[in-house]
Amino acid sequence: MAKKDDGDNSALTPPGAVAAGTPEALVTTPWADTLESRVADLLQAGEPAVLVTVVSRTGSAPRDAGTRALQTRNGFEGTVGGGLLEARAMEAARGSLASAVSTRVSVDMTGFSPNSDMICGGSMEVLCEVLSPRQADIFAFSAQVLRQGGKGVWIVELRDDGVSLHGEVETPLRHLYIDSLPDAVTEESLPAGVGLGLDGLQPLLDARKNRPGLVEHEGHLFYVEPLAAPPVLLLCGGGHVSLEVARLAHACDFVVDVVDDREEFSNAVRFPMARQCLVLPEYENLVQNCGIGRRHYVAIITRGHSFDREVLAQALTSHAQYVGMIGSKTKREQVYATLRKQGVPDAELAAVCCPIGLSIEAETPQQIAVSIVAELLAARAGTLVRLRFDD
């Protein structure tokens, strides 16, 4: 677990600086929130794009259905698994971008030799879907649904012999269905391709157990993908440890928000990978100002015990998926004792991960970041209880 008691120690990393040796690929990415919002931005700007999606997987193939990436004129954004599979997917995506014709590419990894880079077995199928400018509205709307925490399902209708329908070779038939209307949206104002209500989709969802994948239904082949927003990591404190955590968490598909009581430690120059950087004196009204909800993972790494205690007290009133606090066990007991006197139940305190991070004897900011992000991933996957030992 992370040993460092103070999450700041700002002398090690001056405000606005990027730690030496940090690969730029880890701190820059084309979108700041969701892939849907990135697609909407591209299409609204008139940029051609191909959405690359793993639509099926068998065996021990590297990525599950629902893994997505983008092919643009500037290159490939994201990954669908690496190795030969990704090379073939990228080649197909470039071809689709150039020809404006969607395609599906399959890689069967069971036949590769033990000396190849595809010895995991199984197979994967990837859809390279050419996106149309007229789809900008539906992707922008889906991004709005995600920002408001709504639920929905993407349905892409395919053909067994390709990806085309209704005489349009270029574009599969894509629809979005939502369970309820977002704020300030009426049914009459829904973009083309958006439907209200999920009841009619239940056979498709049940067939996939609410997970992405291909479904055959009534003579048609569909790709079904529940609309899901990425998790949000709220870093409370913008010191050197938080900077390393932000880089790694962002590379692991977390949306990163940063909050600090000092502007020089919470800004876009210091945290270029962050969606937003907030400055809250005394961390006042943290839950409301940061919009902490069920998507949130809160990492408390401020510059002092009193700030950690105040932030923890507020975070425990939210619906965050995860709350972790940096510090020693001695600090933890002191903070918890104060919060108990303030009426915080033991059951709530027991759910806090403190010291934050899995137990790997981490000491440097980079090592601590690995332990913290590993813990976040375990919490997201539901394996944290068996991985975390608090002796």
Cα distance between residue 34 and residue 389, in whole Å: 33
Structural domains of the chain ordered from first start: 10-29+230-387 (3.40.50.720), 35-227 (no CATH)
Residue 110 corresponds to which tokens in the numbers above? 């069971």
Residue 89 burial (CB count, 10 A): 26
- Angle at 380 (CA atoms; ends 379, 382), nearest 5 degrees: 65
What SS3 state is found at 372?
Answer: helix
Residue 370 corresponds to which tokens in the numbers above? 């690995």
What's the pLDDT score for residue 292? 93
Task: Indicate the helix (H) or strand (E) that contains 95.
Answer: helix 83-99
Q: How far is the CA of 192 from the CAs of 152, 205, 225, in angstroms?
A: 15, 22, 19
How many residues appear in the chain? 391
DSSP string, 216-271: EETTEEEEEEEE-PPPEEEEE--SHHHHHHHHHHHHTT-EEEEEESSGGGSSTTT-
What's the pLDDT score for residue 226? 94
Could you read off the pLDDT tens digit of each residue along the chain, which spans 391 residues?
A: 554 444 443 333 333 333 333 322 222 333 446 899 999 999 999 999 999 999 998 866 557 889 999 999 999 998 887 777 788 889 999 999 999 999 998 877 665 445 445 555 567 899 999 999 999 999 999 999 988 878 899 999 987 555 544 434 446 889 999 999 988 899 999 999 999 999 989 999 999 988 999 999 888 899 999 998 789 999 999 999 999 999 999 988 898 999 999 999 999 999 999 989 999 999 999 999 999 988 899 999 999 989 999 999 999 999 899 999 998 889 999 999 999 999 999 999 999 999 999 999 988 999 999 999 999 999 998 889 877 754 4
**What are the backbone angles phi and psi of residue 79, rounded to the nearest 5°?**
-150, 150
**What are the backbone angles phi and psi of residue 90, rounded to the nearest 5°?**
-65, -40
Buried b (16+ CB within 10 A) or exposed e, 5-15: ebbbebeebee
What's the pLDDT score for residue 62? 59
Task: Determine contact, residues 298/318, Cβ cutoff 8 Å.
Answer: yes
Cα distance between residue 190 and residue 78, in whole Å: 30
Q: How far is the CA of 249 from the CAs of 145, 244, 255, 297, 373, in angstroms?
A: 23, 9, 8, 11, 6
What SS3 state is found at 68?
Answer: strand
What's the pLDDT score for residue 391? 44
What SS3 state is found at 389?
Answer: coil
What's the pLDDT score for residue 352? 95
